[in-house]
Amino acid sequence: MDVKRRWTARELAAEVGVCHKTVLYVLHNILSYCKIAAYWVPHTLSEVQQWQWYAIAQDLLNWYQREGDDFLGRIVNLDETWAPSYEPHLKRQSNEWKHPGSPRPKKVRPTQSNVKAMFIVAYDIDGVILQHTVPQRQTVNAVYYCNFRRNHLRPALRRKRQHLLATNPIILHDNARAHTANVVTDLLRRWRWEILEQPPYSPDMSTCDYIFSPK
């Protein structure tokens, strides 16, 4: 038997033969019902994945209880992001000193280019450590990611965050294939850098996906 499970208040009023306001009164005041909207989730987690979320969250909590704020200070966030390949100027950047009788300067509004550049951004609790521009038509694979760490990230840490190299940084990146390849994990293991594990289908905690151009 096909039973309709979703009724509107007006449909209930028409079915029962009462006023619409009467149905609302019964729902709110007698049955204590309230209208709640569903919230969106990225994925439906299985029971195994839910237990993985719990285990990883418990490990992170224990890690923080052992080290305190030093744990947060060791985290280095890494992520790739796309940005337009031009830098628009703010309105105040075009200001000029003019005589009251001088004509007002004109500036053509730039159109956003379809060409975008990929950046690899590294930052920690103190701010941006490195912003690396990936060459055009270059794919960020495991080999390129290792070369980036070896030739760009590690020298930047040596210049700006020497204390992180002394205490071994904790790398936070998503579960992309280039990040989890064996050649990458072997490199981090040789350097004694730790990896902050993320639960499956978790919202990306490394939030680099924003436009670097000024608003």
Mean pLDDT of 21-43: 83
> Helix H segments across 35-137?
47-67, 69-73
Contact partners, residue 72, CB within 8 Å, separation at least 6: 64, 125
Q: What architecture is domain 67-85+114-215?
A: 2-Layer Sandwich (3.30)
pLDDT tens track for 130-165: 999 999 888 899 999 999 999 999 999 999 999 998
pLDDT tens track for 157-201: 999 999 998 888 999 888 888 888 999 999 999 999 999 888 877
Q: Answer yes or no: are the C-beta atoms of 118 and 140 closer than 8 Å.
A: yes
pLDDT, greater one: 208 or 96: 96
Which pLDDT score, from 0 to 100, does residue 89 have?
A: 58
